[in-house]
Structure 1
Amino acid sequence: MKLTDFKFEIDHFNVPDEPAEPRDSSRLMVLDREDKSIKHEKFSDIHKYLNKGDVVVYNNTKVFPAKLKGKKEKTEADIEVFLLRELQPENMLWDVLVEPARKIRIGNKLYFGEDLMAEVVDNTTSRGRTIRFLYEGPNQDLYERLDEIGDMPLPPYIEREPKDSDKENYQTIFAKERGAVAAPTAGMHFTPELVEKLEKKGVDFVPVTLHIGWGTFRPVEVEDLTKHRMDSENYYISKESSDRINEALKSKKNKVVACGTSAVRVIETSVMASGMSKPGTGWTDKFIYPDYNFKITEAIITNFHRPESTLLMLAAAFGGFEYIKEAYKEAVKEDYRFFSFGDAMLIL
């Protein structure tokens, strides 16, 4: 398939800039790949489609306040630094994006208040730099300081400025492992009460970790999808999680339900030659698009994604291109909410 196949002609997307309240009051479109049906539910009704012994695999990554505003040494010019990933915790080295990039060079010192400074030590891309924080104290104190002064990295299509409430709102209830600059938004529809209800039914919730990078918003720029390269992202799947996934696969009657495209990428990266999952940690740049052969994933919970995005391509690979395209038309007709704070679909 080609990039232009995913350029849906849609006049208007309903794009909220806040999550539904309560979270599980968002809408849920249920797609059945066998009969090609489309049903409209509330997310809280997802319990009707999950059974005892099913496994919901969720991403427990935590978004951190990655946008810092500061000053450049000497000139006192305003700057913005976007923390992409931590390279060496022991040396406080980070990969970042900087604005205005043309004025920030190797050797420059950047100030973020009286007690926090960083030095530019390398160039990586036209806007990319490597910086070293010059901070007296342990890393944990640095993280706490960044949490205090940083803004949450809202998606580029959210036009308002970040606010303090985003540190909670742009986060799932599963958020535990700090490291993402974008939320695994399929998990944002769950509430503690809904999880408890499903667990009482016998549904298992199994964590994996994938620290979603800013590349999730990077547009695909090649028409031939085989030539697109995903940014690598750090992932982890424990032996306990892997074993529980394999139990469900072996049972033949239980579903492995991936909560979000990031969870799909972790479990599909973990596949052994036997078709089972294996524990491990590392970096994945797995790009899933039609006609990918899914080895582990048996159902997906996902949001409604941007045209031409790798997230939409993954959903189309699982649900079928024409079926997903029809579902998106139905979503627009029924005024579903799109993107990060939007509604969800369950593809069975």
Structure 2
Amino acid sequence: MTADTTASSYWLNWRVLLCTIWILIAMTLSVILVYKYEGSPRRSKRGSSGENQQQTSAGTLFEDETWRPCLKGIHPAWLLAFRVFAFFVLLVLLIVTASVDGGSIFLYYTQWTFTLITIYFGLGSLLSIRGCYRYHKKTAGDRVESFEVDTEQGSAHVTPSHGGSSKDSIIEKPSGPHVEQPQVRQLAGFSGYIFQIIFQMNAGAVLLTDCVFWFVIVPFLTIKDYNLNFLIINMHTINAVFLLTDTALNSLPFPWFRIGYFFLWTIVYVVFQWLFHACVKLWWPYPFLDLSSPYAPLWYLSVGLLHIPCYSIFVLIMKLKHHLFSTRYPESYHARGSSGVELKPDIV
């Protein structure tokens, strides 16, 4: 029998107090991480040659990283096409599931995450459309040329540039007293940073929901002889497939500190559940959220700690991607590592 979640005795006990302490600790650490590392550099540093060198930090995001594929041989339109396709598939699946099962599905963390990844591909489609327009505008004009500088002789050789970004280039280094300032890549705007944050929130949340579903919930439902339908299986499969495919194609960095947003996303969900159940007597969408159990503090702590390996797995996936692409396509690959540091010079 479900306990009365609207009763004061349900909330005024040691179990809720201990769970609240876990949440406050996680929230405090997450806010500290975000406050310390989030954001872009505010100034340029003057190099030894007298040039202004653009500084990057773990939280830096460049505008072209939101729409440019990580391999120069892939046209940005391909990434755009994939994101549009993924957005419509996810949106249709979300609408169909809500129509079949009702609005109560949004009590589940899975649907929250599924909605978030749908928003990710929708916003990514808009950013890719803008990026493709700029890319087309750049390549449709006169032939773009870049300079390969001969550092030993101080001369430059002109070669055509194909598919490069309009934000970064190599500038000829003149031998005279006047040194031309290199071009600086444009930093991402507000929508770009929101896109990046949602990407990293999804990375952990999708792995968390799918792992808990397939390794915890499914075995339990199998014991109870519960048949999984097509929509449920798709909900916990296609989101990971689309996200991993986009990860393989995009140029987005993956700094560690944004695990704070992943924790905050889950904390918002838990607080919502608490407030909702304090007002309405209702079953809990997940048994481990029920605060009437004497094991509730242990469950909350375990699920909280589970965020770290889930996020770490995606960090390893990013490292594997960088290793494979940088070794197999060293002349075509350009992206930044999980620390946010440029892995190789972006020469176009």
* Greater relative contact order (Cα < 8 A, sep 6+): 2
Name the structure with the higher strand share. Answer: 1
Larger Rg: 2
Q: Same fold (TM over 0.5)?
A: no
Q: TM-score range by the shorter chain?
A: under 0.3
Name the structure with the higher helix share. Answer: 2
Q: What's the TM-score, normalizing by structure 1?
A: 0.24
Q: What's the TM-score, normalizing by structure 2?
A: 0.24
